[in-house]
């Protein structure tokens, strides 16, 4: 068996008082390296690491997990250890969640219910006290009084510079104040990056979320992301609606507008087809 990178192994030992005895690389992310690590005391942890990560990169993720856990709604893995070292290798160690089985209706419904419970805790201003990250991109969170203005100024504008001039002008020229609305009762804490790869389900019928990019916003932002790349079953949406009440007829169009943000994230990271997808969405709402 090859050895874990020394900074990772040392952080595991420091955080757990146990020795790594075996490890298996875990695929699925394009930013960090990750592994399931078995320990000498019988426990298993999940480690992710990044050489020369931006300052505060894993600290922001840990903060997001803490904030979500504090709501008592969505399930997240427990943080075991954290090493934030922008000059070397940054490491985040979490409890290992065994999500090796395919999602079933029970676990997806549980995920939907707990997400809706998170969103039901409204009354927050948009944004967050500090900036964080979405993927590897900085995410500015300075609050603005109105949610729709926040979405345009803090989410769309900063990333729209990667578009060609004509598409950017059309995007920022859309009448978002008319197309979107303020959340009833104020904003809620969001996961912020809820694609299927950031949702785990277990054979015990439980759903977990990982890799958040938290801030307070409209609950429909999280719902939009679940639709963008698929992977969430009808049981998830049925579970959500047992808490939130039924979706209204205009939801699908609003979700397409909210998905302009993750699409712009992908434009900045990957370009290509995502530019065309943004342009097609903008054209629909001109």
What whole-number distance in Å separates Cα of residue 79 and Cα of residue 74?
Answer: 15
The torsion region of residue 56 among left (phi > 0), alpha (psi -120 to 50) and beta comes to left
pLDDT band at 240 (very low <50, low <70, confident <90, very high): very high
- The mean pLDDT of 112-132, rounded to a whole number, is 98
Question: Strands 44-51 and 20-25: what pairing?
Answer: unpaired
The answer to whether the pTM exceeds 0.85 is yes
pLDDT, residue 60, reads: 97
Catalytic residues, by residue number, are 193
Residue 272 confidence (pLDDT): 83
Residues near 111 by beta carbon (within 8 Å), at least 6 away in sequence: 74, 199, 201, 207, 208, 209, 232, 236, 239
- Do residues 92 and 57 lie in contact, with contact meaning Cβ atoms separated by under 8 Å? no
Q: Dihedrals φ, ψ of 6, to 5°?
A: -55, -45
How wide is the angle at C-alpha 178 spanned by C-alphas 145 and 229, nearest 5°? 90
CA-based nearest residue to 257, from 227, 226, 223, 224: 224
The residues with which 215 forms a beta bridge, in sequence order, are: 190
Helix or strand run (H / E) with residue 215: strand 215-217
For the chain, the structural domain boundaries read: 6-95, 105-285
Alpha-carbon dihedral of residues 247, 250, 253, 259, nearest 10 degrees? Answer: -40
Least confident of 28-32, 72-76, 195-199, 248-252: 28-32
pLDDT band at 115, cuts 50/70/90?
A: very high
Tokens of 5: 């990178």
Class of domain 105-285 as given by CATH: alpha beta
Mean pLDDT in the chain? Answer: 95
Is the pLDDT assigned to residue 169 strictly greater than 80? yes
Contacts of 135 (CB under 8 A, 6+ apart): 31, 193, 213, 265, 269
Helical residues (DSSP H) of the chain, grouped into ranges: 6-16, 57-70, 105-120, 147-150, 157-160, 165-173, 176-179, 220-228, 234-244, 251-258, 260-270, 273-285
CATH architecture of 6-95: 2-Layer Sandwich (3.30)
d(CA 11, CA 101): 29
**Is the pLDDT confidence value at 79 over 70?**
yes
Separation CA 169–CA 268 (nearest Å): 17
Mean pLDDT of 47-72: 96
pLDDT of residue 2: 54
Say yes or no: do domains 6-95 and 105-285 share a fold. no
Contact 206, 110 (CB under 8 A): yes
Of the listed ranges 59-73, 96-110, 121-135, the least confidently predicted one is 96-110
More confident residue, 1 or 165: 165
> 224 near 258, Cβ under 8 Å?
yes
What mean pLDDT comes out for the span 190-197? Answer: 96
Q: What residue has token string 């790594």?
A: 20
Q: Is the pLDDT of residue 45 over 90?
A: yes
- Cβ 112 vs Cβ 75: under 8 Å: no
DSSP labels for 67-130?
HHHHTTSSB-PPEEEEE--TTSEEEEEEEPP---SPP-HHHHHHHHHHHHHHHH---BPSB-SS
User: Is the predicted pLDDT of residue 227 greater than 80, yes or no?
Assistant: yes
Q: Return d(Cα 57, Cα 41) in angstroms, integer.
A: 29
The conformation of residue 286, written as its DSSP 8-state character, comes to -
Tell me the average pLDDT across 73-79.
98
């Amino acid at each position: 068996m090859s050895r874990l990178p020394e900074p990772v192994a040392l952080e595991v030992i420091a955080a757990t008082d146990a020795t790594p005895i075996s490890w298996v690389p875990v695929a699925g992310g394009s930013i960090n390296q990750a592994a399931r690590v078995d320990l000498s005391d019988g426990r298993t942890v999940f480690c992710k690491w990044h050489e020369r990560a931006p300052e505060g990169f894993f600290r922001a993720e840990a903060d997001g997990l803490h904030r979500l856990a504090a709501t008592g709604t969505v399930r997240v893995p427990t943080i075991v250890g954290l090493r934030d070292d922008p000059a070397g290798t940054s490491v985040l160690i979490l409890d290992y969640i065994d999500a090796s089985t395919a999602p079933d209706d029970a676990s997806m419904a549980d995920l939907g219910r707990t997400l809706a419970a998170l969103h039901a805790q409204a009354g927050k201003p948009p944004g967050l006290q500090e900036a964080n990250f979405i993927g590897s991109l900085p995410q500015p969170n300075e609050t603005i009084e109105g949610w729709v203005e926040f979405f345009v100024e803090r989410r769309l504008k900063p990333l729209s510079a990667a578009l060609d001039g004509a598409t950017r002008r059309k995007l920022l020229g859309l009448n978002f104040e008319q197309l979107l609305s303020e959340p009833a009762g104020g904003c809620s804490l969001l996961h912020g990056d809820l694609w299927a790869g950031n949702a785990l389900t277990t054979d015990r019928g439980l759903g977990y979320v990982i890799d958040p990019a938290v801030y307070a916003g409209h609950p429909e932002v999280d719902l939009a992301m679940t639709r963008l790349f698929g992977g969430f079953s009808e049981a998830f949406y049925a579970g959500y609606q047992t808490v939130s009440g039924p979706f209204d007829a205009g939801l699908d169009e609003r979700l397409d507008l909210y998905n302009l943000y993750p699409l712009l994230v992908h434009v900045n990271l990957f370009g290509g087809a995502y530019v065309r997808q943004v342009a097609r969405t903008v054209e629909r709402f001109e």
